[in-house]
Amino acid sequence: MATPHTIAVAGKGGVGKTTTCGMIIDYLCSKKTGPVLVVDADANSNLNEVLGVEVETSLGAIREEMAQAELKGTIPSGMTKADYADFKFSSAIVEEDEFDLLVMGRTQGKGCYCYVNGVLKSQVDKYAKNYSYIVMDNEAGLEHVARGTLPHVDTMLLISDCSRRGVQAAARIAEMIGEMELKPGKMGIIINRAPNGELDSGVKAEIGKHGLELLGVLPQDEAVYRCDCDGEPSSKLPQSNPVKQALKGIMQELGL
């Protein structure tokens, strides 16, 4: 059975993880080299917005419904709890023409994400074999890495803004990943929002200091910024968009 190539992003809040994911998804879909599963594993999920997709439910919400059904005894008779879970969770997949989207969402109540994280992992594992690529957006702290609930990652992209502090944050995450079981096949840093697409020498020095592999630089871009302000999906910007162009170069360099 073929295993998909999994790409995940990490980095501190607001550096462009979700934006980058959206464009990676667009790139992979436009290549038409096989089905893409998109996983929004950020509790504050908004990847659907950069993709321009409506989402009605999430694994977190379904988990709540399940817990309620169990409590009230409304699980359909003749169905085991596992069957019911399977049935409910399969309804969490949003099927678009070019990709499928799974939103993890957050659980209500006193925030233990362990259960839903576990469910996410088993669902992803179950569906994974149907896809050529999995693209996973994550939250800043990369809690799933800490909890070991992320599926195997082939390519881990550390995203940073064009600042020393951004690079330092990425380096800390890289260190954390290094200490975990995750062991991504490949890990490197992408500098986003670089003025004129140029990497400042101080920032470059910081990357070197932490021994990070620089995969590429994405420019600060007015059109991407406008998309956010206007509520438009940035992943649907024309292929000529400078950020898309730069990202395409990085992806090709990675052999993706």
Ligand X SMILES: Nc1ncnc2c1ncn2[C@@H]1O[C@H](COP(=O)(O)OP(=O)(O)O)[C@@H](O)[C@H]1O
87 binds, among ligand X, Mg ion, none (CB under 5 to 8 A by kind): none
Q: Which two tokens stand for residue 207?
A: 């990357």
Cα radius of gyration (the chain): 19
Degrees to nearest 5, angle at CA 125 with 86 and 254 = 145
Q: Which two tokens stand for residue 184?
A: 């991504």
Size of the site for Mg ion (CB under 5 A): 2
Q: Which is nearer to Mg ion, 17 or 88 (CB)?
A: 17
Q: Which is nearer to ligand X, 47 or 128 (CB)?
A: 47
Q: Is the dihedral of CA 127, 128, 134, 136 positive or negative?
A: positive
Q: Which of 6, 18, 20, 149 binds Mg ion (CB under 5 A)?
A: 18
Q: Which is nearer to ligand X, 181 or 230 (CB)?
A: 230
Q: Which single residue brings its beta carbon nearest to Mg ion?
A: 18
CB 11 within 8 A of CB 107: no
Residues that bind ligand X (CB under 6 A): 11, 13-19, 192-193, 218, 220-221, 224-225, 228, 243
Q: How far apart are CA 191 and CA 214, in angstroms?
A: 8
The residue range among 12-20, 126-134, 190-198, 205-213 that interacts with Mg ion, by the rule CB under 5 A, is: 12-20
191 binds, among Mg ion, ligand X, none (CB under 5 to 8 A by kind): none
CB 88 within 8 A of CB 62: yes
CB 83 within 8 A of CB 92: no
Minimum distance from residue 5 beta carbon to ligand X (Å)? 21
Minimum distance from residue 129 beta carbon to ligand X (Å)? 28
